Structure 1
Amino acid sequence: MGFLARTLITAVAFWLAEYLIDGISFTGPINLLIAAVVFGVVNALIRPVIALLSLPLTVLTLGLFTLVVNALMFAITAGVMPGMRVASFWDAFMGAIIVWLVSWVASRLLADRATPAVNR
């Protein structure tokens, strides 16, 4: 999946998170797109380091600590973006779950569309 598609999917996920969670807000649609790019950069650069450092906790919690790492990436994005506001950790936690879920569904739909049908 291309960079533009991932960015648009993340922007839609941010919009949905803003719509569903009172503690998340953006100043405008351009800010959604910029936040999606920043989120991608944060996930590409910072997430691997945090994931490696938190590996013992992730193993100990059978992978559930990954949700906390996702929330931290969401909160870092909000901290870097002047037009994005996240009120609390739990808002970031729920926002990260929404972004993950939307991204997962979109990648499944796009992967199914890209896979050619098998002739029987």
Structure 2
Amino acid sequence: MGFLGRWLVGAIAVGAAIWLVPGIEVVGGAYAGPIFTALFLSFVNAAVKPVLKVLSLPLTIVSLGLFSLVINAFMLELASYLARNITHAGVLIDSFGAAFFGALVISIVTSLLGGATE
């Protein structure tokens, strides 16, 4: 699956998180918000996430891998912030709990849809 396919799957996953998780709202358009958030989430996951995973390796080992869920929530918060401030369209996340469960929904939906498209 190419970049556009992953971007489409990411946008659908962000849309599912908006629909399922209270505390995540669309800013700047019903379709533009999830699309730009998914785009920035792809960029953040490619650029920042590997560095954070290496730096947080001791915490991830001690927590038996559960700290990676916290990293995913932080990546969603960062992508949301960048999308809203650069393109003025994205998602607004109210709390860390909403980001945590939103990242969990995005991970599950991406896994399901990504596996179905391959």
Per the alignment, residue 69 of structure 1 pairs with 71
Q: TM-score, normalised by structure 1?
A: 0.88
Partner of 1:10: 10
Q: Distance in 2 between matches of 1:60 and 1:76?
A: 25
What residue in structure 1 maps to residue 94 of structure 2? 87
Structure 2 matches for 1:1-120, cutoff 5 A?
1-27=1-27, 28=29, 29-82=31-84, 83=89, 84-111=91-118
Output the CA distance in 2 between the equivalents of 1:57 and 1:98.
23
Q: Distance in 2 between matches of 1:23 and 1:49?
A: 28
CA distance in 1, matches of 2:32, 2:78: 19
Deviation at 1:31, TM superposition (A): 2.3
> For the aligned residues, what is the CA RMSD?
1.0
TM-score by length of 2: 0.90
Q: How many residues align?
A: 111
Higher alpha-carbon Rg: 1
CA distance in 2: counterparts of 1:22 and 1:69, whole angstroms: 20
Kindly report structure 1 stretches of 4+ aligned residues shifted beyond 6 Å.
Answer: none
In structure 2, what is the Cα distance between the partners aligned to 1:79 and 1:32? 13
Deviation at 1:2, TM superposition (A): 0.7
